[in-house]
Amino acid sequence: MEKEIALSSLHCLFTDATNEKNKNEFITLMLHILLAPFNDHEMKEVITYVRNVFFLHHPIEAKRIWVGLIKYAKFKKSNPRLSHQHDQKEIDNALKKEGEFVDAIAIDTTSIDLLEINFEDYEAYLLARAFVMVPYNLLDNEYYQFIKHLLPQVLEDLKLDENYSFNRNKKERNLHHESTLAIEIYIAGFLLNGDPQLSKPILKILATPALELPMNADRDDLYKFIAQTLNYVVLNLFDNGNSNSKPSNYKEQVANFWQLWEMLYSLVLPSTQKPFIVEYTLSSF
């Protein structure tokens, strides 16, 4: 309980920060928390708190943390953690290098080139973490461009097979189940809660690959990802509508939903494949 309270009160530290040195120390702390080996549930709670609370109170510092996480993803890809097969001195040096890098990016205010971000040069699970950390109301256009840039790469990655062997010659999937599930849930929330003028292009990016899949693609991981994301949109709206305490923006969610579903219909109608027919008609509910 104490840990949950502490992790949900981190924005108070920045409120009390009196100088830049204090802020840099707290940014370092936040980065270490976002990189900590929490279990999936705990990390989900941390990410939700950062997205819904921390960004609201400290948007400038939150963006520095977000940028730092992406920079660390690049560092991590080229500096993977050493296994127990290495000697302790090597492991200690690697951990020291890692800690020094986190300290450095905490005070680094340089921007990132969104167009260079990819799964080949950046650690995929950390990019997924940065993806789902973005607030639904998009305080900064750079966040939106990041989502538009990374989502097509997520969809392409799902076309690859997960590699459970030691054969590294085969191009393998970068994102694993925990990351793809987090992205599904996040996109569903973004579609319901975001500005329709921004969420419609995201829906188009999401749905378009399914229009090109064969008729028997219902077992394909890419199709499952797209269909499940749409299912989450419907489930979220259904749950919110039947809750004793509806979200304050529930009416906006309903309006957003029907705008998006009309757009989905316009995408599906010309297709001979007619994907998402179950999701579109809501017959699975």
**Predicted confidence (pLDDT) at residue 180 exceeds the cutoff of 70:** yes
Q: Based on the domain organization, do 101 and 141 belong to the same domain? A: no
**Predicted confidence (pLDDT) at residue 224 exceeds the cutoff of 70:** yes
- Residue 16: inside a domain, yes or no? yes
Q: How confident is the model at residue 285 (pLDDT cuts 50, 70, 90)?
A: very low
Q: Based on the domain organization, do 275 and 170 belong to the same domain? A: yes
Report which secondary-structure segment, H or E, holds 28. Answer: helix 20-34
Mean model confidence pLDDT for the chain: 86
Q: What is the mean pLDDT of residues 78-94?
A: 75
Q: Based on the domain organization, do 102 and 155 belong to the same domain? A: no
The predicted pLDDT at position 185 comes to: 97
- Residue 132: inside a domain, yes or no? no
> Of residues 91 and 4, which shows the higher confidence score?
91
- Tokens at residue 232, please? 């989450």
CA 26 centroid distance within chain:
23
Domain termination residue (choose one: 62, 97, 112): 112
Q: What is the mean pLDDT of residues 21-30?
A: 89
- Residue 126: inside a domain, yes or no? no
- Residue 119: inside a domain, yes or no? no
Q: Based on the domain organization, do 56 and 185 belong to the same domain? A: no
**Residue 280 near residue 261 (C-beta atoms within 8 A):** yes
- Cβ of 246: how many Cβ atoms within 10 Å? 12
The predicted pLDDT at position 21 comes to: 84
Domain termination residue (choose one: 112, 127, 149): 112
- Tokens at residue 12, please? 């108070």
Q: How confident is the model at residue 92 (pLDDT cuts 50, 70, 90)?
A: confident
Q: What is the mean pLDDT of residues 150-179?
A: 83
CA distance 147 to 94: 31
Q: Based on the domain organization, do 166 and 276 belong to the same domain? A: yes
- Residue 83: inside a domain, yes or no? yes
Structure confidence by residue, pLDDT tens digits, 128-146: 999 999 999 877 899 999 9
Q: Based on the domain organization, do 107 and 141 belong to the same domain? A: no
Percent of the chain with pLDDT over 90: 61
Give the lowest-confidence range in 23-32, 67-76, 176-185: 23-32
- How many residues appear in the chain? 285
Q: How confident is the model at residue 218 (pLDDT cuts 50, 70, 90)?
A: low
- Residue 59: inside a domain, yes or no? yes
Q: Based on the domain organization, do 60 and 142 belong to the same domain? A: no
Q: How confident is the model at residue 169 (pLDDT cuts 50, 70, 90)?
A: low
Q: How confident is the model at residue 3 (pLDDT cuts 50, 70, 90)?
A: low
Q: Based on the domain organization, do 237 and 101 belong to the same domain? A: no
The predicted pLDDT at position 284 comes to: 46
Domain termination residue (choose one: 79, 112, 145): 112
Q: Based on the domain organization, do 76 and 14 belong to the same domain? A: yes
Q: Based on the domain organization, do 107 and 180 belong to the same domain? A: no
**Predicted confidence (pLDDT) at residue 166 exceeds the cutoff of 50:** no
Residues 6+ apart with CB under 8 A from 32: 102
Given 3-state DSSP classes, what are the helix, strand and coil percentages for the chain, each rounded to the nearest 5? 70, 0, 30
- Residue 125: inside a domain, yes or no? no
Question: What is the pTM for the complete model shown?
Answer: 0.90
Q: Based on the domain organization, do 174 and 273 belong to the same domain? A: yes
Q: Based on the domain organization, do 80 and 148 belong to the same domain? A: no
- Residue 147: inside a domain, yes or no? yes
Q: How confident is the model at residue 10 (pLDDT cuts 50, 70, 90)?
A: confident
Residue 7 structural domain: 1-112
Domains: count for the chain: 2
Q: How confident is the model at residue 255 (pLDDT cuts 50, 70, 90)?
A: very high
CA distance 92 to 241: 53
